[in-house]
Structure 1
């Protein structure tokens, strides 16, 4: 996972490649989704339902929930957390979900009424995928970031013992956890290891019990070495996304030229030793939303023709790939750069920055090409968040009325047949728009050793540490 910039849940991201284990450990979860059916299952919440097609929801809590300092985790605490996540100054990735909420209202100590800006019957899937699922003490948050980072107050299975920045977060068992006798472990130590080879070596030498993993090659090597793994089933994938908002990729021809120029099989060989799964279609064949619509093709002659055409108009294609400080991200950028060097009238550069800078640049939309994603379980959350023109999570600046209309039809379809038809149109528009290079199906997964039991994932590879137990 990436080093957290703060322990405030607003600063954490509930995906396998970021701080999912840490967030679940400190704050627990209101609810989860089943990793096979995607149906909601309840934890600290007992209900999140709508009777009016998704315009309003009722959130009900377990009775007598307490934060680790003994103060109540009640409806007022949920309202405080959910309302503040809409504040742009926090810089939370969960603002993408939070701004869909128009208002929250405390009905009684265990009940919150949530009114949406626009109806969204699938909103529960968005709640579990981010910091809306993690509730911190309002009183502790109001003391400011420095104070909160020294003593974060949540209601999760663990509490903070020590945070050694750029090294490790040490956690200890919360004896007041609501779901006793969980957690089963006395403590957890969470470290940031961005290098994929170092992660695998750490697991292979039993220096750690579990690693969140982003790399198919590591998954396969771990299996060969006798380790276990779990990967959440998903559609979509990771994409080297192109910024529609500025040159050169505000011109569809430039996006299409780069897409056609890149041989994704060669990229897979370089980045994943050929072990990655390239998403040839947006949904896998076992998905009810599968359609045989290619989202990536290679045609070097057409690519060169488009590069030449743009250069003749005084618009030669030149761009920078903004890389995270991981082996995978840097190698991907270098592979794209190397392939494009064989073409004329195109120049690609690679800029490697740390997580904080990359996150800030992505938030400010200050990039040409960056690793982005549209990872789907139920397709509404992942695709609408990434590609609807009005979504704050639309980092690439995609703005297409036909795509917006199809996404709406998919959200409100009353049968699987209606939703399938809508998402077929979504897939066609995404293919036609040349969003970017769909280079791998995501790996929302974990590797773990033979002594670790109770490993369970929800949403995008998010582990539940209260379920872990060690066998000797």
Structure 2
């Protein structure tokens, strides 16, 4: 099985460090520097980096962007910069435009402290009031931002002084900063520009990032130019950044391998295997959990746990891996990998076709034959995964599957409103709190499965606030056992938060779930 030749550091140390209740600072995250750039010398100014992302944004408003490898992390980091990042060796928080984000009361409140003198490209201040404006609006369900999953935890906020914002959480969460990093809460836009309306903002988005918008041709390219007033001079090193959206895996790889692009966000184990064979540099962020074929337990047929269990028992994950990833994918056998402080030998799934058929027959005899639609995102691998499961279930009686391909924006909206039977989602663990609480707690707006199980909720709440390592491990072991019993979906592959890039690209640094920082990158001829 393929193992990428340039892994970023292992998750075991990361999870252990996440037990700290307060954030810690640092100037640089040297351990996430690109190995390809280690012998390249000092950064060189100039050049245009041509990048590829997987999802076209519906707007340049931070609320419409997502800070994970499968969405728009390069674009968001370029336009808005970052308040903070995490160190992928330890998961310690390291500060950028912020200088502190700490709690002294077990996660009930946090004080965000900003660098003094930060300004947006329109000259207005990036101060505590600007952060409050951005974070308050992300809590509005009408805005439709995926960041609401984290922003909704903020019950109130108060501007203490121009550089300090105090937030109170609806319930204590000492691990709140880790989850914030994966969302657009980390990207602050000019309130004055946002108040002009969506159309005007998309023409001229205003942030304080290393780049600003030059031109956006929807469906083609987003061209950005260096912000000469970026707070962290002499960064950025690049003069320009071009971002294109390419959903097809083969097309992305062909563009990198033939020199048509310089850096591509990647999610495909198959593509990473091809890059490895071709000697093309790649970085993969290790993580636990993975991608899940989520079943909507809030409506038929998956409101009956027997239907969910039947699908899980019927699925042949090795065959699916062969079809979707050419056998190069990694199937998550347990929720946490061996070596993690939270590892428990609790298998996520077993295959038992005979029992699966018995359950399908039992449900049909009660007038509840399993019939559902698999809503697929418009990517090659998600369509292949949906069609592979559809083909496998065709060998069983009393089960019917349809596949519906839906564009990113519509699929995201429908997932958020639970208007689906089955869809591909994820619970990818660095620190376990954000991924598991968000995906499976009954009070979470990001709980697409619709599960609301008291025992699981209690375990996730206990893991969130536990002060000792043993107490936290015990809570997450209970959560793992309960998730196996409840069968929220089919865990079919580990995630591959990755980038591939040309050999003349250096300074590739990532944080959280595969979010590269364009201000760090530079190029040689």
Normalization by structure 1: what TM-score?
0.99
Quick check: 1:395 aligned with 2:448? Answer: yes
Whether 2:360 is the aligned partner of 1:307: answer yes
User: Is 1:427 matched with 2:480?
Assistant: yes
Aligned match for 2:499, one of 446, 449, 456: 446
2:347 matches 1:294: yes
- For residues 452-463 of structure 1, the aligned pairs below 5 Å read 452-463=505-516
The DSSP-based 3-state class of the residue aligned with 1:54 is coil
Q: Report whether the alignment pairs 1:204 with 2:257.
A: yes
Q: 2:439 is matched with which residue?
A: 386
Decide whether the 8 Å contact of 1:57 with 1:114 is kept in 2.
yes
Secondary structure of 2:180's counterpart equals helix
What are the residue-to-residue correspondences of 1:182-197 with 2, within 5 Å? Answer: 182-197=235-250
Aligned to 2:377: 324
Contact 1:235 1:377 in 2 (8 A): yes
The 1-side partners of 2:259 and 2:498 are apart by 18
- Hey, what's the Cα distance between the residues in 1 that align with 2:475 and 2:440? 14
Q: Measure the CA separation in 2 of the matches of 1:197 and 1:57.
A: 44
Residue deviations 1:201-248, cap 9 Å, x none? 111111111111010010111111111111111111000000000000
* Matches of 2:86 and 2:148, distance apart in 1: 20
C-alpha distance in structure 2 between counterparts of 1:329 and 1:285, whole Å:
27
How far apart are residue 105 of structure 1 and its match? Answer: 0.6
Q: How does 1:36-55 map to 2 (within 5 A)?
A: 36-55=89-108
Q: Does 1:111 align with 2:174?
A: no
Match of 1:27 in 2: 80
Please tell me whether the aligned partners of residues 313 and 350 of structure 2 are also in contact (alpha carbons under 8 angstroms): yes
Are 2:56 and 2:219, in contact at CA under 8 Å, matched by a contact in 1?
yes
Q: Look up the SS of the partner of 2:330 in the other structure.
A: coil
Larger RCO, structure (CA 8 Å, separation 6 or more): 2
- Partners in 1 of 2:489 and 2:447 — Cα distance? 13
Q: Which moved more, 1:356-365 or 1:214-223?
A: 356-365
Match of residue 413 from structure 2:
360
Q: Which residue of 2 aligns with 1:221?
A: 274
User: CA offset at residue 76 of structure 1?
Assistant: 0.6
1:393 is paired with a residue whose SS is coil
Alpha-carbon distance in structure 2 between the residues aligned to 1:231 and 1:301: 38
Alignment correspondent of 1:147: 200
Distance 2:337 2:221 in 1: 37
Q: CA deviation at 1:53?
A: 0.6
Match of 2:147 in 1: 94
Secondary structure of 1:385's partner? helix
Alignment counterpart, residue 129 of structure 1, candidates 170, 182, 186: 182
- SS of the residue corresponding to residue 60 of structure 2 reads coil
Aligned residues: 472
- The residue that corresponds to 1:234 in the other structure is 287
Would the aligned equivalents of 1:36 and 1:233 in 2 still touch at CA under 8 Å?
no
The equivalent residue for 1:65 is: 118
Question: Unpaired segments of 5 or more residues in structure 2?
Answer: 1-53
Match of 1:74 in 2: 127
Q: In the alignment, is the contact (CA less than 8 A) between 1:240 and 1:438 conserved in 2?
A: yes
Deviation of 1:449 (Å): 1.1
TM-score (norm 2): 0.89
**8 Å Cα contact 1:173/1:186 also seen in 2:** yes
The answer for the alignment partner of 2:423 in structure 1 is 370
Describe the SS at the equivalent of 2:136.
helix
CA shift, 1:399, in A, is 1.1
Q: Does 1:251 align with 2:309?
A: no
Is the CA contact (8 Å cut-off) linking 2:360 and 2:398 kept in structure 1?
yes
State the SS of the aligned residue for 1:350. strand
1:338 to 363, 384, 391: 391
CA contact 1:96–1:391 (8 Å) conserved in 2: yes
CA deviations 1:379-416 (Å, max 9, x no partner) are 00110010000001101101111101111111111122
Q: Report deviation, 1:45.
A: 0.3
Distance 1:95 1:154 in 2: 20
SS at match of 2:294: strand
Structure 1 unaligned blocks of 5 or more: none
Post-superposition shift, 1:36? 2.1
* Mapped contact 1:239–1:371 kept (Cα < 8 A): yes
Question: How far does residue 286 in structure 1 lie from its aligned partner after superposition?
Answer: 2.1
Partner-residue secondary structure (3-state), 1:194: coil
Secondary structure at the counterpart of residue 241 of structure 1 = strand
2:330 paired with 1:280: no
Give the 3-state SS of the residue equivalent to 2:286 in structure 1. Answer: coil
Aligned residue number for residue 403 of structure 2: 350
The answer as to whether partners of 2:416 and 2:446 remain within 8 angstroms in 1 is: no
User: SS at 1:383's partner residue?
Assistant: helix
Distance in 2 between residues matched to 1:223 and 1:450, nearest whole Å: 13
Q: In 2, Cα distance between the equivalents of 1:197 and 1:40?
A: 35
Once residues 180 and 416 of structure 1 are traced to their aligned partners in structure 2, the CA distance between those partners, rounded to angstroms, is 40
